[in-house]
Amino acid sequence: MTRLVESLDYLLFLPLFLCLSAIGYYGYAIYAAHRFFSQIDPIDPNFHPSVSILKPVCGSDRDAYKNLASFCGQDYPNYQIIFAVHDWADSGIDVIKQIIRDFPAIDIQLVVSDRAIGTNRKVSNVANAITKAHGEIILLADSDVYVEPNYLQQVVQPLNNPRVGVVTCLYRSITEGWLTELEALSSATEFLAGVLVSNELEGVKFAMGQTIVMRRSVLEEIGGFAAIADYLADDFQLGYLPTQAGYEGVLSHHIVDHVMATSTFVGALQRQLRWMVGIRASRPWGYLGLIFTYGTVASLWFLLITAGSLFGWIILIITWTMRLAMAWFIGVKSIRDPVAEKLLWLMPLRDLISFALWCYGFIGNTIKWRDHQFKLTRKGELVAYPSSLPEKVKSVIG
């Protein structure tokens, strides 16, 4: 009987501890966001190194012309844009050709090549593009990103410090359809909170595909794109490897727009599962530590095992209040994410979905990406199912 009582005590203590840790995390995230957004990046008007913008393109995204053209209107004196496409049948080529015609004063090039240097086709695309680059700064940005005219001038500024090796950006989501809105709600109120906490605690040791800026010499020092050609989380590696080589990573104060395409339920689920499995492979201990941030789930668990007690309700109300406060302060007030502004009330549901995906991340190692299936190794490398890939990629991976 004594052992049973002790077991029940432990059963009560665990969710209570997880609630308290989540409350502490939410408070610290608000503090980290306040610290970050109360600062600004100094602008040196005389610092404008040559920049080569590499844009991998696969298909035609929503608002493709508007997004890609936004990079052509930069208030910056010396930059080029290189679009990289896998084959001439790609639907994105027509948009790129139109942009080349519309912006004749900008150095814009189109590279079409099916050369593969690894299983990650996006990395192969940018590896093909860099052969035409002449800038001392390399900037990578996904094709579904929209930027303001002052973007380039701002994101290169941290590289004025020779100790800085890589710069990345926060983003706000522009969505269409309830599925993508629900998916994006997690980015604004959960993922970016973790980015800000990490930035405050240990600095930036990763990068996000919406913007990655680095010196060409640093890219060469870490082994070029060949070093990440088989990784799923190529953006993470491009931020991680420079810090391992002794450089600093910096989170820019410039926020870009991530324009998400309408998705099916299966497509949205596959994308989120791929993201979770990639995070687990890239940062296993950090992924495990996410258990201390799921206060919504822990408070419901605690309420359930206390049979709806007054104390259980008090813990739930405090936990949810802090969770909503963090989501509002970061997603709405600081980042001004339109999805967070619209759907903040759905955050508890989004948290439950995120927790279920997090649990799957521990057992899943098979992903689907661009109609191809892969297995993920413990290091986060992609191992392709031979029947899933074109002959060009099969020959590269042996």
Q: Using 50, 70 and 90 to split pLDDT, how confident is the model at 391?
A: very low
pLDDT digits (tens, 9 = 90+) for 276-333: 877 887 788 888 899 999 999 999 999 999 999 999 999 999 999 999 999 999 999 9
Q: CB neighbours of 237 closer than 8 A, spacing ≥ 6?
A: 227, 228, 231, 282, 380
Domains of the chain plus CATH, in order, are 51-265 (3.90.550.10)
pLDDT digits (tens, 9 = 90+) for 26-79: 999 999 999 999 988 888 989 999 999 999 998 777 789 999 999 999 999 999
* Cα 302 from Cα 12, distance rounded (Å): 7
For the chain, give the number of residues.
398
Q: CB neighbours of 212 closer than 8 A, spacing ≥ 6?
A: 139, 140, 141, 166, 167, 168, 235, 238, 239
